[in-house]
Structure 1
Amino acid sequence: MVEVVEDQVPVIAPEADQPSLREAVLRYSREVAFAAADVYARAAESRGSWDTRLEALIVDAILRGENTDALRSRIAALGWKAQERFTVMVGNSPSEPSASYVSELRRMAGRYAEDALVGIQGDRLILILGGVQDRETAYIKLSDMFAPGPVVYGPEAGSLLEASGSAQSAFAGLTAAKAWPSAPRPVAADDLLPERVISGDDAARRSLVKNIYRPLLAASNGLVETLGTYLELGHSLEATARELFVHANTVRYRLKRVCDVTGWDPLLPREAFVLQAALVVGRLSAPPKAATERQPSRTQP
């Protein structure tokens, strides 16, 4: 429109008034441009604030284990695309996180995951990742964005709506992580199972029973007895062999079978601790054996 008016200036105004008219048209076009830019900026700011509030609602709903149509609708509105490989990382947040910090965290997460949600709840930073490609690298790089202190990631979940389990494990691990001062950073929640059990996490207790104790019982061949004796006798192969009246190579073979069955190596101190915790909670969870009644002896008349 401005170009049309400017082209028609010689037609609609005398030559003496043409410079003033052109200047007025240029001033008008500048004011229109500034006003439009302000409108777009306000719209973008409003959209960004809306996205931030929506993201906070989704993170809170996932942490609470909500599974509703409303949550699915919010996830779709946010433009979430990832369909697999979900996990949750938790740790300490910076004392005064800025908008630029959150934006940088999102950009960093975007390098290793298809989608990411960021939540800050008090002094806790929650990062929900979807479609993670190289998990080990992603966790190490993203842990640098957390404030000093433990960083824990939960087990992988099959869908975003199932990520609440990963979040619960991660938070339980974060609570228990102080009991393992030399824990790596980041550390998997499943690597903190003994500490989580001691801190009262029932999910960790069930995991030890299900994934370690029961498979050892099912494998039979004296694995539980051999492992228990080995741990009780100070991790000595020879002492275990003498106690069980078997050759040391038999003990070594059975301990290797323990590693094959459970994925935890009893020859490594930290993993032996996990196995010992599994034996303790497994034995406590076993139903008590029924006491056999003694038949009264018959007396001769």
Structure 2
Amino acid sequence: MVEHTLSNAQAIAASTVEWLRKNLDKCRQLEPGALHASVHRIVAMIVQSLFETKYTECEIENALVRPALNDGISRTLLRAICKATASQTWAALSDRANEAEKELLVKGAAAFFSGSHHIQDAINRGERKAQSGAEDSSVRRRELTLALLRGERPDAGGMNSATYAVIVVGKHPCVAGDASVADHIRHVHEKTGADWLVVEQQDVVVLLVPDGSPHPATAHAGPTAAAQAAFDALRIPLVAGYVLPEMLTDIPAAVREARETVATVAALGRVRPGLYRLDDLLIEAMLLRSRDLAHRLATKVAPVVDLGEQVVETLEAFLESDCERRELARRLYIHPNTLNYRLRRVQELTGLSVSSPRDLGILKTALVALRITGTRTGMAPAGHAVEVRQSNVG
């Protein structure tokens, strides 16, 4: 009977697939060929149990579960498919059997359903083992992450990189949907299977990205390819602090530096997304560390604010133009005499000369201080504190 029954396996599988797609919502979402392949394997295994053929857990895992997982069928769904397939297969065998075959079915009923339960139990045990392995891996990764954040050098067996690029992201609301940045990063991390280490702290999310790039020789070097790729994978507008520590033991200091970078950018009210380094924001960070000095500097240009937005914008443009007046007047669509008048008023109100390199430095820093102290809201970011966009290393 075994050959005759197995010859009907394709037909039984086809009718079972039709039943499953009508009665199980999740089966309707599967590719028909993938569902049919799994059902056919189950039918063959269960029918063999009629003749006291029992598959080992390893055989069930390799012949049934892994192909199903590759086809996008979860273990939970596969278990439901197996249960339904057993019922449909028994009904089909009973309908198609002649008198002699029906007698054999009666004798083999216990073995048939025992075989079905054995397959479902094997799927269950495999799922528990997989979950246990994932939990163990998760625990190991968290222990590694916490050790690195403490500045320890963990056992090399748990690491896959000589060092880790540090990316710190503030936990402000995500612009896409209702998810927080922390939730979004966790989702991207799980979906892509990226080899990052991620930890959520009180006000930020820290990503440690495996990075074997050489430590940058200069402070002007941009983010490495690995760090930039990790940041780009998040696919939402974010402002993040970035540091590539030279050694593993430098990671805690790198996290502190990246956190300060994020705090500095937030204080400036920047909205342009990108990876920022503290080296891009040294003046701003210094002023944030000394609010009293920042306020004192801001008072030097505060009178200029009373002259109106146009004068402040003219001064900012002048400081960024290397003090080239004729070309600047053309770009601002104003007469050179208008430009000279505005700059003269700045000198009169501040007591600082727009011809003195020292005074120009004070004016430029004072405008940054003005923005940091909130004396003037909506001020454009200082030109020298640029967003890091391209990777120059890696």
Length-normalised TM-score, structure 2:
0.41
- Provide the rounded CA distance (Å) in 1 between the counterparts of 2:161 and 2:250: 13
Instruction: Kindly report the root-mean-square deviation, in angstroms, between the aligned alpha carbons of the 2 structures.
Output: 4.3
Distance 1:49 1:135, change over 3 A: closer
Aligned equivalent of 1:193: 282
Aligned equivalent of 1:105: 189
Q: Classify the secondary structure of the residue corresponding to 2:241.
A: strand
Q: Classify the secondary structure of the residue corresponding to 1:6.
A: coil
Deviation at 1:128, TM superposition (A): 0.8
Distance 1:183 1:49, change over 3 A: same
1:35-72 per-position Cα deviation (integer Å, ceiling 9, x unaligned): 111111112222222322332332233223233xxx32
The alignment covers a number of residue pairs equal to 199
- Provide the rounded CA distance (Å) in 2 between the counterparts of 1:243 and 1:103: 54
Aligned equivalent of 2:384: 271
Letter in 1 for 2:208: I
Q: Tell me whether 1:83 sits opposite 2:158 in the alignment.
A: no
CA contact (8 A) 1:152 1:170 kept: yes
1:79-102 per-position Cα deviation (integer Å, ceiling 9, x unaligned): x32335x3111113454966x962
2:131 to 21, 45, 54: 45
1:168 to 250, 256, 263: 256
Aligned equivalent of 2:235: 144
Aligned equivalent of 2:152: 66
Aligned equivalent of 2:199: 119
- Provide the rounded CA distance (Å) in 2 between the counterparts of 1:7 and 1:143: 53
User: Which ranges of 4 or more aligned residues in structure 1 deviate by more than 6 Å?
Assistant: 237-242
- Provide the rounded CA distance (Å) in 2 between the counterparts of 1:159 and 1:119: 20
Deviation at 1:170, TM superposition (A): 0.9
Aligned equivalent of 1:128: 208
- Provide the rounded CA distance (Å) in 1 between the counterparts of 2:355 and 2:203: 53
1:126-160 per-position Cα deviation (integer Å, ceiling 9, x unaligned): 21101376257425514535xx763222x223444
1:57 to 143, 147, 155: 143
Letter in 1 for 2:268: W
Length-normalised TM-score, structure 1:
0.51
- Provide the rounded CA distance (Å) in 1 between the counterparts of 2:161 and 2:110: 53
Distance 1:35 1:126, change over 3 A: same
1:149-203 per-position Cα deviation (integer Å, ceiling 9, x unaligned): 63222x22344444333222111212222222236422323223233333439xx
- Provide the rounded CA distance (Å) in 2 between the counterparts of 1:24 and 1:64: 59
1:236-293 per-position Cα deviation (integer Å, ceiling 9, x unaligned): 479999768xxxxxxxxxxxxxxxxxxxxxxx953389xxxxxxxxxxxxxxxxxxxx
- Provide the rounded CA distance (Å) in 1 between the counterparts of 2:232 and 2:356: 48
Unaligned runs of at least 5 residues, structure 2: 1-44, 54-99, 172-178, 214-223, 291-317, 326-351, 358-380, 387-394
Letter in 2 for 1:116: W
2:105 to 19, 23, 48: 19
CA contact (8 A) 2:169 2:206 kept: yes
Q: Classify the secondary structure of the residue corresponding to 1:82.
A: coil
Q: Classify the secondary structure of the residue corresponding to 2:198.
A: strand
Q: Classify the secondary structure of the residue corresponding to 2:383.
A: helix
Distance 1:83 1:192, change over 3 A: same
Distance 1:55 1:200, change over 3 A: farther
CA contact (8 A) 1:151 1:186 kept: yes
